[in-house]
Amino acid sequence: MRAVEQVERIAAWGAARRRSWSEYYQYVHRYLCDVVRLDPSRALSERLRTQLSGHVTRPFSLTVANAPSIKLLRDVMPAPSAKPPVKRPRAEREKQPSESAPVDVHALIAAHVAEEVKAGARGLTEVTERVLAKLPAEDRFLAAGRVAEALAKLEETERERERPWLPLSDGMTIEEWTVNGAITPAPSATEQHDER
Amino acid sequence: MSDSRFLTLGDAVEDENFPEADLVLRRGRHIDRDETALYGFLSDAADHLEPFYRRFGCELVHASEGYFCLLPTNDKLGRRHLGVPEMLVGQALALLYLDPSTLQNGGVVTKQDALSRLAGVTGSDALTRPSTRSASGWTSAWPRSRCAPSSARR
């Protein structure tokens, strides 16, 4: 195996040397034709030397063709990486105002409280629980205090020396009051709405 | 013309070497004997191509030193003048080619050889004279009137 490789290597080296020698032979042959035969007195070399040394004082230059390349216009294409601008369909974003009756939250809660008291509720916890059940979940925390305010205006309440705090179903805890009896009959929610 | 392998200009234009030879010539390059295919094509088609290029205002020159080039005679095709550095380097290489000592290296000339020969002939001061490159090519800091083309001087 090594002998074969050695023979191939020697063959490649021999071919390269032969090619190199051939090129050198051709070059020398051309040199003999161009220089030795055509310019035996080396007049051309001397002329070149004179031109080079006098180029500063008597410069000259050759003229060569310089045709510009043909320009082909291409179709304008958007860049592939360019993302389309963010758009959304045209529409009327402004909503027209509509007329609606104002809601008096205090009066509404007072009416609910009066209804529950009339229905038999006798403690702040019980009244609050029933009233809050009629209201949306997001309004219940705010309405809990207003229920106590409405009940205090509507009924006479009684507080024990020890004030118990009772939990509501919504996770709130309130102080318990006991309602003694009706003092001022409060209008119902429907009646208050009619008055407005 | 009788020994040409092309009977008409159309035959020459249809040859596979015509596009490359035409582009190279129009860009101002010389085609010498080392470019065997193009030089052989031009040698065979010269009789047809000379009148062809004459219509573009150029002469297809076949020099006895063994090269082809286009020599513009008017501005139909576009032309330019070689700059001072190009002229100096070209003449220095020609001088080195004529030097018998170059034979020892088989005609191979290094950059250092060319610069040394140039400095030896023109002098270091002339060689280091500042040259600037403009949009249209190399220009020298030498007076512009001296760099005028030979046709203008005539």
**Res A130: pLDDT:** 92
Q: Which two three-digit tokens encode residue B74?
A: 């008017």
Q: How far is it, in rounded angstroms, from Cα B27 to Cα B12?
A: 20
* Packed helices A140-154 and A105-119: angle between N→C axes, nearest 10 degrees: 60
Give the residue from B26, B65, B19 showing the smallest Cα distance to B45.
B19
First to last CA, chain B: 36
Identify the three-state secondary structure at position A78. coil
Q: A83: which DSSP letter?
A: P
Backbone angles phi, psi at A160, to 5 degrees: -80, 165
Contact A31 B103 (CB under 8 A): yes
- Which amino acid does the sequence have at A84? P
| Confidence class for position B131, pLDDT limits 50, 70, 90 | low
Check pLDDT > 60 for residue B140. no
Following DSSP, what letter does each residue of B127-152 receive, concatenated?
A: HTS-EEEETTEEEESS-GGGG--HHH
Burial of A125 (0-12, 13-18, 19+ CB in 10 A): buried
Mean pLDDT, to the nearest integer, of B111-124?
87
Residue A65: list chain B partners with CB under 8 A: 25-28, 58, 69-72, 77-79
Of how many residues is chain A composed?
196
With a cut of 70, list the residues of chain A below it in pLDDT.
Answer: 1, 181-196
User: Do strands B67-72 and B58-63 pair parallel, antiparallel, or not at all (unpaired)?
Assistant: antiparallel
**Res A128: pLDDT:** 92
| Confidence class for position B3, pLDDT limits 50, 70, 90 | low
| Confidence class for position B129, pLDDT limits 50, 70, 90 | low
Q: How far is it, in rounded angstroms, from Cα B30 to Cα B61?
A: 10
Mean pLDDT, to the nearest integer, of B4-13?
90
Q: How far is it, in rounded angstroms, from Cα B148 to Cα A125?
A: 111
Percent of chain B with pLDDT over 90: 43
* Packed helices A124-133 and A105-119: angle between N→C axes, nearest 10 degrees: 120
Check pLDDT > 60 for residue B19. yes
Mean pLDDT, to the nearest integer, of B20-38?
93
Q: B76: which DSSP letter?
A: S
Q: A90: which DSSP letter?
A: -
Interface residue ranges in chain B relative to chain A, Cβ cutoff 8 Å: 25-29, 58, 65, 69-72, 77-84, 86-88, 91-92, 94-95, 97-99, 103, 106-107, 118, 121-123, 126, 129, 140, 142, 146-147, 149-151
Spatial contact of A182 and A117, defined as CB atoms under 8 Å apart: yes
**Res B135: pLDDT:** 46
Spatial contact of B32 and B94, defined as CB atoms under 8 Å apart: no
Q: How far is it, in rounded angstroms, from Cα B30 to Cα B26?
A: 10
Identify the three-state secondary structure at position A105. helix
Convert the pLDDT of each residue in B69-109 to its tens digit: 999 998 888 889 988 888 888 999 999 988 888 888 888 88
Contact B98 A45 (CB under 8 A): yes
ipTM: 0.70
Interface residue ranges in chain A relative to chain B, Cβ cutoff 8 Å: 20, 23-24, 27-28, 31, 34-35, 39, 42, 44-45, 48-49, 51-53, 55-68
Contact A65 B149 (CB under 8 A): no
Contact A27 B106 (CB under 8 A): yes
**Res B148: pLDDT:** 37
DSSP E strands, A62-116: 63-65
